Amino acid sequence: MVILVMIIAPILSIADRNYGYFFGLFIALFLLWQSGWNWKKFGFGEKIIPRTILNALLLAIAIFLVIDICIQPFLEIYFGEINLSSLDDIRADFSSFLILFLIMWIFAAFGEEFLFSGYYMKHLAEFLGDTDKAWFISAIILSIYFGASHNYQGTAGVIAVALSSSISFFIFYKNRTNLALLVFTHGFYDTIGLTLIYLNKDRLFYEWAIKLINF
């Protein structure tokens, strides 16, 4: 069933990228309900403790430093600018920023990790045999799949998302019962990005890369 859902979702996204996401999320929530709200089946097997949140914050900062500062600017130089025009409304507009911030934590941080990691990756790995190799293969497949789902951001965006998500999926590969760690990591990571857009500082690292190349 998970493979069927992963095939149908991108087809629905052709009409609107949100259709595929909410279709998959509906199926995942339906299966969660059918299981008697057994959150462990979707990777939520450990209590959320302060250390989990702290580790998530450190991971988010590390991913941002590696992907957004060191790699993404050069991806944009060679593959074109990442299309984030849908977020332009939050620039210098605190109310829009706050609303999107709340939406992000619900539908991106929790929703995407619940769907892509807790449902797609976990259940695909179990379908493939639930071995370390199966989880590793599932992490690679989902990195490509999640990156491709952001094709509206352009080639550089697809690659950047695939790279950043690969780190998250491999974290889940090592922490299969602690999906909350990924939820907080995703939320903190997106918070950094949204804040930079709100402050109109999101192109700063790209400009630094240009100067470095021209040095």
**Angle, vertex CA 183, rays to CA 91 and CA 45, nearest 5:** 170
Q: Of 43-57, 84-98, 107-121, 201-215, where does mean pLDDT reach its minimum? A: 201-215
Q: Is residue 31 part of a domain?
A: no
Q: Is residue 57 part of a domain?
A: yes
Amino acid 215: pLDDT = 63
Q: Of 59-63, 157-161, 196-200, 208-212, where does mean pLDDT reach its minimum? A: 208-212
Q: Is residue 9 part of a domain?
A: no
pLDDT exceeds cutoff 80 at 23: yes
CB-CB neighbours of 54 under 10 Å: 11
Calpha distance 82→152 (Å, rounded): 9
Q: Above pLDDT 90, what percent of the chain?
A: 83
Q: What is the mean pLDDT of residues 97-101?
A: 96
Q: Is residue 27 part of a domain?
A: no
Calpha distance 71→163 (Å, rounded): 9
Residue in 12, 1, 18 with CA at minimum distance from that of residue 119: 1
As for how many domains the chain has, the answer is 1
Amino acid 194: pLDDT = 96
Q: Is residue 114 part of a domain?
A: yes
Q: Is residue 3 part of a domain?
A: no
Q: Is residue 201 part of a domain?
A: yes
Please give the mean pLDDT across all residues of the chain: 93
Residue range(s) defining the domain that contains residue 192: 44-214
Write out pLDDT tens, residues 121-179. Answer: 999 999 999 999 999 999 999 999 999 999 999 999 999 999 999 999 999 999 999 99
Q: Is residue 59 part of a domain?
A: yes
Q: What is the mean pLDDT of residues 179-189?
A: 96
178: β partners: 44
